[in-house]
Structure 1
């Protein structure tokens, strides 16, 4: 009886220890396995921001999905050119400090670092200080992004939660839910309503 009790105790202790390891954001091995392919600012040729602000709420309680309402891209070279164009437009024409989004995702399956984690964006005025804004490159009014882009976005959100940069109980929204716009396109908006954490509120 005592022997079996000790064995059960040891098994439970090991299980608790394993769970603790897997839930710890600092676990480098786990985070490395979860890390999606993020193309850094230096890799895509970003300009320096004119100023940088941190999120007022960090980790972010919201994730806001956008589309760029532009041509899509299926190669890294074209996607990087698109992202540079977006940054130039945002900084030169809109006089923003930097590209508006925290991250951008192409149909090449890559994620492009915009302002990055923990940074105040310029993608949805009511939510800029408390959200991670993710823009899917393309126009998704009449069709969905391809499987590679969808997987990249979902992997990025999961990675953000694991890093402690997105709250575990985050709320997922389409841009049109935060301001008057058709973004992120009718098809993409229908799609994200099937994802975990999407809220109609």
Structure 2
């Protein structure tokens, strides 16, 4: 299914799609380089400390003793000293050693990635395909040449400006930004230190050229939406060019909880294995298929395995979505009940109900959904669920 007419002829939306696909591929392509640098550090530290025959840490020092570094065991102390040495770390100041897993450092080179993560970031489950994470590591990892860091800084800033666009610029990239993005992608991939690590370099560069030159005229002519229950206009994943998911976890149905979000800014983050939400509702009244009914999302910590998330695209702090979008969301919920995907007695909440401190779905929209059927005024109890890094 093709994009709806409004988006098929929106060049800035198509630019956004092509840029996001390109950035995702860049993240995959740079993983080997980052791993190579971390492996070099790990191998050198292991070699330096080998003559000392250090015993294995039995106290989980960074977790149990936290910043009491003088009380850490000899193994953790020795690894910390080597990892923060000038030859390995550019800026050791501010490193949150107490947030790490020091006892795991000797076991595998991937475990030391947390040492070089950007200060203030979650150091658990580091994703070496996420560009913001990777470029943050490069800035602190002394083994990465400064020229490589400089090249990556420009691309990082562009990527962040797109990801944190204003509400009016969500999922929009102008031609100038698109051109600059692809130029900086080429600069990073072609960097003399990086290029040898990029598998199928010519194929990757060819893909980048195709994405940069992609035309809206390449779209399929079929612009009919799929109708759910004869009412909901659904654009499936191929229709809005969703990336294939990196992994799939099935969600048991019928689901008893519906959570309402707003995007506020673009949230199709490469930190997740797929788009975070089950469904996204556009201001055009169309519903865009995310993970759909049967797959676990990555939208609300503690609730992903027991809730369906519906995200309104836009910032609804001071205004409401158009009536067509509000009606689409309500009809989608009714359809889910009729198809056995949602329990008839489901509970409806705002994102902020399930995650205290969050403003989503925005003050205006939140006030409205409190009047909808099935809204539960009692704050829900957090469901037991494994914690995942950078999850909203």
TM-score, reference length from structure 2: 0.37
2:258–2:347 Cα contact (<8 Å) kept: yes
Could you tell me which runs of 5 or more consecutive residues in structure 2 were left unpaired when the two chains were aligned: 1-226, 379-392
Going from structure 1 to structure 2, the CA distance change for 1:109 and 1:32 (only over 3 Å counts) comes to: closer
Using the TM superposition, give the Cα deviation of residue 125 of structure 1 relative to its aligned residue in structure 2, in angstroms. 1.1
1:139–1:185 Cα contact (<8 Å) kept: yes
Question: What is the count of residue pairs matched by the alignment?
Answer: 151
Residue 191 of structure 1: SS of its match in structure 2?
helix
More strand by share: 1
Whole-Å Cα distance in 2 between the matches of residues 164 and 147 of structure 1? 26
Whole-Å Cα distance in 2 between the matches of residues 144 and 33 of structure 1? 25
Residue deviations 1:16-63, cap 9 Å, x none?
xxxxxxxxxxxxxxx9644511100000001000000012x4111000
1:60–1:118 Cα contact (<8 Å) kept: no
Match of 1:65 in 2: 260
Residue 288 of structure 2: SS of its match in structure 1?
strand
Match of 1:81 in 2: none
- Greater relative contact order (Cα < 8 A, sep 6+): 1
Moved over 6 A (4+): none
1:130 to 300, 303, 306: 306
1:196 to 373, 379, 383: 373
1:184 aligns with 2:349: no
1:36-115 alignment, distance < 5 Å = 36-55=232-251, 57-70=252-265, 86-87=267-268, 90-91=269-270, 94=271, 96-115=272-291
Match of 1:117 in 2: 293
More helix by share: 2
Whole-Å Cα distance in 2 between the matches of residues 133 and 113 of structure 1? 11
Residue deviations 1:63-91, cap 9 Å, x none?
00000013xxxxxxxxxxxxxx643xx22
Residue 232 of structure 2: SS of its match in structure 1?
coil
Could you tell me which runs of 5 or more consecutive residues in structure 1 were left unpaired when the two chains were aligned: 1-30, 71-84
Alpha-carbon RMSD across the aligned residues, in angstroms, is 1.4
